[in-house]
Amino acid sequence: MKRTDRIAQPWGTRTPYPAGGQWPVRVDTHLEDGLDPGEVDRWVQTASILHSNGDALDIAVKDGRIAGVRGRAVDRVNRGRLGPKDLYGWQANSSPDRLTVPLIREGGKLVETDWDTAMDRVAGRTRELLAEQGASAIGFYTTGQLFAEEYYTLGILAHGGLGTNHVDGNTRLCTATAAAALKESFACDGQPGSYTDVDHADVIALYGHNMAETQTVLWARILDRLAGPNPPAIICVDPRATPVARAATVHLAPRPGTNVALMNGLLHEIIANDWVDHGYIEAHTVGFEDLVQQVKDYPPETVATICDVPADRIREAARLIGGAERLLSTVLQGFYQSNQATAAAVQVNNINIVRGMLGKPGCGILQMNGQPTAQNTREAGGDGDLPAFRNWSNDAHVQDLARVWNVDPMSIPHMSPPTHVMQMMRYAEEGSIRMLWVNGTNPAVSLPELGRVRSILSQERLFLVVQDIFLSETAQLADVVLPAATWGEKTGTFTNVDRTVHLSEKAVEPPGQARADLDIFLDYARRMDLKDKDGQPLVKWHDAESAFEAWKECTRGRPCDYTGLSYAKLRGGSGIQWPCNEDNPDGTERLYVDGKFWSAPDYCESYGRDLVTGAPMQAPEYKALNPEGRAIIRAAEYVPPHELPSEDFPFQLTTGRTLYQFHTRTKTGRALQLQAAAPEVWVEMSAADAGTYALAEGDLAEVTTPRGKVRAQVRVSGIRDGVLFLPFHYGYWDTPAGHEPDGAGRAANELTITDWDAASKQPLFKTAAARIRKVSGGEGPSKAPTNTASAPVSPIGWSTHGSPGSEADEDFSVTGGEA
Ligand SMILES: Nc1nc2c(c(=O)[nH]1)N[C@H]1C(S)=C(S)[C@@H](COP(=O)(O)OP(=O)(O)OC[C@H]3O[C@@H](n4cnc5c(=O)[nH]c(N)nc54)[C@H](O)[C@@H]3O)O[C@H]1N2
Ligand SMILES: Nc1nc2c(c(=O)[nH]1)N[C@H]1C(S)=C(S)[C@@H](COP(=O)(O)OP(=O)(O)OC[C@H]3O[C@@H](n4cnc5c(=O)[nH]c(N)nc54)[C@H](O)[C@@H]3O)O[C@H]1N2
Ligand SMILES: [Mo]
């Protein structure tokens, strides 16, 4: 047993292990001050809610309150470990400013009301709009932070009940490209790999993925491999000196927005040196010749000029990848939110495909998710796709869904792709979407170009419903605010990046009158009197477990088959990876083990899209391309970002995360230890750029793009020259002043651009042109964390550490765990 300051040491103590070995157990516990584990009344099973890793944990309940957390030793994902956000973030649940009663807007102000009044107003407005305009007047914008049961219920009521095609999730901002890239290469969503690939890999390549800060426990697994015998080589592609970059064997720091050029350069080398598996390509793929032709134009010297990365370093990275025997590739926002998102992410798939590195231990692709239940949003249809990876452009799939729901197939919208959120915002701006129901997301801080977003959401003619646990920046603009119960206060399932399904059980009562999101949706379905084609209630379930049973039926025979799972089976042990069914009763560790893909034309989720225009491919085209259901190698040429640096805006601005904060901070900003570790926005720039612009550590600077201004203290960091970085966590709920007098804000999205990837429709948060100027000298260094990507390049006199309440126990004595 060891006490560790987990703010100062986010990854905790090393437990080294060798290639092919089993990751040792380390059980992390943090309880409220003075509480002894022996005094805990109950431990209640769940998994982490503040990222996509799916770390399993138990909530400590004391006197009906959440009083701490402990990692679950038995779980395959984390083997007991927890990250800082999980150790401390739960405190937000009992924050005194939780929403506890519904609110409605009266005379311009939000006032308290009862559930009947609030829900009648929502249902009443829905009925009016259906009568006046039809379902196209109504949009739903959900999240990646509810449970599978809730998305499935939302999906049936929006698609099967009202019949609107305007359904999307904030997963559009998050993992739309993960889904799109998997659909392009394998014609179906679903991660091929498994976290255990970390145990076996000899090369791990992380593309635009700061895993050290955003999936701390998975990174701890890699650190433990690096500390053990025969460690893997690490390749990092990131313009900043992240902790991943510092641990890397080779770090490539390209100009933001040039990922496709870089990937084509790597593929050029892999193909030119014949580091490819011709047998695999021949037997299991289509499209290789196109790739060979395409990457001919990208020799390392050409790529070096586009990306500003030394040609020899590209060769070195390619040599490592080309020589790997077990290659694990991971991809996240540095690709997904950057220029040519899908095309870039697909090239990562191509590397593993042409090297034949799929379906074997250590050979995996993790097109990462970000949010805890982003996968479920996509699976259950919360993002507008049809549930269980049914193909909206395949009539047989629509009919099959209509059978499951017992509705007329024509009542399920499927004539065009589902409306993505940026398009929904456009429709609201133009006035054709007149009601928008936002749940579990805070678009007034997280969407690009906030000035525009605020003006859309605050229009009188838009009826805005916001279902949240706090009075967020978005909720402040709403016509009706519905107080939700959250993680720990309700039951449901969630699925992480590597398809592991966890049960999350209710531990405590929600505050005041707050209700589980599922109960809110069920109440709405009842009030709307939604019926199936026999006049029976459309939604035939009444609680989380009955919703899960219905969802299971919907997945039967589909790739994400849940039929072998049940709440009982998920209770007590480890999470289980789908597909889990009669054939795979214990779940499935890796997909595509036999080189067979879910890409047969009559089974696949998608016929693919044109990577440049985004236009969906038609069935005949797809059938001609891929009649036998193989993996699809899709080549892409590099196209520069739309907004490039200019004389007026000489920098590239990129945005992202820091280890201690989650998104718009509604939870982590209310957890003392986390908020203290990263209390205020900062802007990162290189030492050379700081010199040129006469800026120093701690100076107050103003960053400007054509959309707006943000003020932040300068952190001189290891970021590449020519690039500025802003964390996007800092909105306005905890700044009484809000905007600065002269119109500058502190939310990074004041500056970002309304633009998105053509194929995935994911907004571009990572490439914009900007300028920076000094406002005033600082009164000391910026408060940015020092042990993360924002580490200062020269000493600033202090380092990030916790206060007395931020120690956690690490227990190394637990043996066993999952076999
Ligand atoms: N601590 C913490 N953890 C989280 C979250 C959080 O808010 N806080 N959120 C969760 C969610 S929802 C998500 S989606 C994930 C996101 O996890 P990540 O994707 O790891 O996080 P980001 O910081 O958004 O972006 C990753 C990196 O992309 C780099 N980058 C920027 N532009 C480019 C580019 O053009 N090319 C390349 N190659 N790299 C570029 C940035 O420098 C950054 O280090 O994290 C999850 N985990
Ligand atoms: N500039 C820039 N912008 C970005 C990104 C970036 O890297 N840069 N990243 C994008 C990404 S990847 C993501 S995922 C988004 C995240 O953006 P958001 O989804 O807007 O961020 P959150 O702060 O997680 O918002 C979740 C909201 O749901 C509420 N909530 C929490 N739990 C529950 C619950 O159980 N029920 C209900 N009803 N509400 C709940 C929270 O209080 C909060 O208001 O931001 C995107 N925006
Ligand atoms: Mo995300």
- With a cut of 90, say whether residue 108 has pLDDT above it: yes
Two structure tokens written together for 774: 């000094």
* Ligand closest to the CA atom of residue 667: 2
| Ligand 1 neighbourhood includes 333 CB (under 6 angstroms) | yes
* Ligand closest to the CA atom of residue 333: 1
Q: Is 322 strand, coil or helix?
A: helix
Q: State in Å, rounded, how far the first CA of the chain is from the last one.
A: 23
* Cα–ligand 2 centroid distance for 729 (angstroms): 9
**472 and 99 in contact (C-beta within 8 Å)?**
no
Neighbours of 434 (CB within 10 A): 20
- Tell me which H or E stretch contains 809: strand 807-811
* Cα–ligand 2 centroid distance for 669 (angstroms): 13
DSSP string, 91-147: GGGG-TT---S-EEEETTEEEE--HHHHHHHHHHHHHHHHHHT-GGGEEEEE-SSS-
Q: Whose CA is nearest to atom 13 of ligand 2?
A: 174
Which CATH number describes the domain made up of 176-368+598-632?
A: 3.40.228.10
- With a cut of 70, say whether residue 522 has pLDDT above it: yes
* Cα–ligand 1 centroid distance for 31 (angstroms): 29
DSSP string, 572-620: SS--EESP-SSS-TT--S-S-TTS--S--TTT-S---B-TTT-PBPPHH
138-142 vs 250-252, strand pairing mode: unpaired
Q: Is 461 strand, coil or helix?
A: coil
> Could you read off the pLDDT of 651-664 as tens digits, one per residue?
999 999 999 999 99
Cα gap 325→341, rounded to integer Å: 27
Going edge to edge, which strands form the sheet with 492-495?
A: 492-495, 500-504, 576-577
| Ligand 1 neighbourhood includes 684 CB (under 6 angstroms) | no
Neighbours of 546 (CB within 10 A): 12
| Ligand 1 neighbourhood includes 414 CB (under 6 angstroms) | no
* Ligand closest to the CA atom of residue 489: 2
Give the Cα-Cα-Cα angle 495, 498, 503 (nearest 5 degrees). 25
Q: Whose CA is nearest to atom 4 of ligand 2?
A: 446
| Ligand 1 neighbourhood includes 84 CB (under 6 angstroms) | no
* Cα–ligand 2 centroid distance for 663 (angstroms): 5
**628 and 740 in contact (C-beta within 8 Å)?**
no
103-106 vs 65-71, strand pairing mode: unpaired
Q: Is 750 strand, coil or helix?
A: helix
Tell me which residue of 545, 559, 656 sits closest to 603, measured CA to CA.
Answer: 559
pLDDT at position 735 is 85
Q: Whose CA is nearest to atom 45 of ligand 2?
A: 446
In sequence order, what are the residues at sequence separation of 6 or more whose Cβ sits closer than 8 angstroms to the Cβ of residue 485? Answer: 469, 510, 514, 515, 516, 517
- With a cut of 70, say whether residue 737 has pLDDT above it: no
- With a cut of 60, say whether residue 518 has pLDDT above it: yes
In sequence order, what are the residues at sequence separation of 6 or more whose Cβ sits closer than 8 angstroms to the Cβ of residue 106? Answer: none
Two structure tokens written together for 357: 């590195």
Cα gap 192→584, rounded to integer Å: 16
How far CA 606 is from CA of 185, 186, 393, 624, in Å, comes to 10, 9, 8, 14
* Ligand closest to the CA atom of residue 142: 2
The whole-number average pLDDT for the span 636-652 is 97
Q: Is 345 left (phi over 0), alpha (psi -120 to 50) or beta?
A: alpha
| Ligand 1 neighbourhood includes 209 CB (under 6 angstroms) | yes
Of 628 and 291, the one with more pLDDT: 291
> Could you read off the pLDDT of 541-575 as tens digits, one per residue?
999 999 999 999 999 999 999 999 999 999 999 99
Helical ranges in 616-742 per DSSP H: 619-625, 672-677, 687-692
* Cα–ligand 2 centroid distance for 440 (angstroms): 7
807-811 vs 27-31, strand pairing mode: antiparallel
Where in the chain do CATH 3.40.50.740 domains reside? 103-174+373-559
Residue 471 backbone phi and psi in degrees, to 5: -80, 75
Where in the chain do CATH 2.40.40.20 domains reside? 651-788
Two structure tokens written together for 322: 């080309």
Give the Cα-Cα-Cα angle 44, 50, 51 (nearest 5 degrees). 115
Q: Percent of the chain at pLDDT above 90?
A: 96
Neighbours of 812 (CB within 10 A): 14
Cα gap 609→261, rounded to integer Å: 20
What number of CA atoms fall less than 13 Å from residue 258's CA on the CB side? 23
Tell me which residue of 727, 21, 1 sits closest to 12, measured CA to CA.
Answer: 1
Exposed, middle or buried, 108 (CB in 10 Å: 0-12/13-18/19+)?
exposed
**813 and 80 in contact (C-beta within 8 Å)?**
no
Q: Is 261 strand, coil or helix?
A: helix
492-495 vs 233-237, strand pairing mode: unpaired
* Cα–ligand 3 centroid distance for 52 (angstroms): 9
User: In a mutational test of the pocket of ligand 1, which residue from 333, 658, 660, 800 has the highest number of ligand atoms less than 8 Å from its CB?
Assistant: 333
Tell me which residue of 9, 423, 346, 4 sits closest to 185, measured CA to CA.
Answer: 346
User: In a mutational test of the pocket of ligand 2, which residue from 142, 145, 652 has the highest number of ligand atoms less than 8 Å from its CB?
Assistant: 145
Two structure tokens written together for 771: 């300028």
pLDDT at position 117 is 98
Q: Scanning the structure block, which residue is given the tokens 């409605």? A: 104
**267 and 662 in contact (C-beta within 8 Å)?**
no
| Ligand 1 neighbourhood includes 213 CB (under 6 angstroms) | yes
pLDDT at position 741 is 64
Where in the chain do CATH 2.20.25.90 domains reside? 2-95
The whole-number average pLDDT for the span 231-241 is 98
- Architecture of the domain spanning 651-788: Beta Barrel (2.40)
Q: Whose CA is nearest to atom 17 of ligand 1?
A: 214
pLDDT at position 818 is 46
**187 and 179 in contact (C-beta within 8 Å)?**
no
Which CATH number describes the domain made up of 103-174+373-559?
A: 3.40.50.740
Strand partners, 286: 632
Q: Whose CA is nearest to atom 33 of ligand 1?
A: 334
Place 736 in a pLDDT band, splitting at 50, 70 and 90. low
pLDDT at position 499 is 98
* Ligand closest to the CA atom of residue 453: 2
In sequence order, what are the residues at sequence separation of 6 or more whose Cβ sits closer than 8 angstroms to the Cβ of residue 609? Answer: 180, 184, 342, 615, 616, 617, 758, 759
pLDDT at position 819 is 38
**152 and 551 in contact (C-beta within 8 Å)?**
yes
Q: Whose CA is nearest to atom 8 of ligand 1?
A: 662
How far CA 202 is from CA of 15, 18, 261, 322, in Å, comes to 18, 11, 25, 12
Topology of the domain covering 2-95: N-terminal domain of TfIIb (2.20.25)
Ligand 2 atom nearest residue 475's Cα: 44
pLDDT at position 816 is 59
The whole-number average pLDDT for the span 797-806 is 91
* Ligand closest to the CA atom of residue 446: 2
pLDDT at position 742 is 74
| Ligand 1 neighbourhood includes 575 CB (under 6 angstroms) | no
| Ligand 1 neighbourhood includes 338 CB (under 6 angstroms) | yes
Place 804 in a pLDDT band, splitting at 50, 70 and 90. confident
- With a cut of 80, say whether residue 409 has pLDDT above it: yes
Ligand 2 pocket (Cβ < 6 Å) reads 143, 145-146, 170, 173-174, 333, 337, 370-371, 439-443, 445-446, 467-470, 472, 484, 486-487, 517, 655-656, 663-664, 666, 728, 748-749, 752, 765
* Cα–ligand 1 centroid distance for 659 (angstroms): 10
- With a cut of 50, say whether residue 463 has pLDDT above it: yes
What number of CA atoms fall less than 13 Å from residue 506's CA on the CB side? 12
**761 and 724 in contact (C-beta within 8 Å)?**
no
User: In a mutational test of the pocket of ligand 2, which residue from 49, 442, 467, 752 has the highest number of ligand atoms less than 8 Å from its CB?
Assistant: 442
- For the chain, the average pLDDT equals 96
| Ligand 1 neighbourhood includes 55 CB (under 6 angstroms) | no
pLDDT at position 32 is 95
* Cα–ligand 1 centroid distance for 219 (angstroms): 14
What pTM value is reported for the model?
0.98
* Ligand closest to the CA atom of residue 368: 1
Q: Whose CA is nearest to atom 29 of ligand 1?
A: 334
Cα gap 350→249, rounded to integer Å: 22
* Cα–ligand 3 centroid distance for 174 (angstroms): 4
User: In a mutational test of the pocket of ligand 1, which residue from 50, 51, 715, 752 has the highest number of ligand atoms less than 8 Å from its CB?
Assistant: 51
* Cα–ligand 3 centroid distance for 492 (angstroms): 20
Neighbours of 811 (CB within 10 A): 17
Tell me which residue of 223, 210, 139, 206 sits closest to 413, measured CA to CA.
Answer: 139
Q: Is 352 strand, coil or helix?
A: helix
pLDDT at position 806 is 86
**575 and 502 in contact (C-beta within 8 Å)?**
yes
Q: Is 221 strand, coil or helix?
A: helix
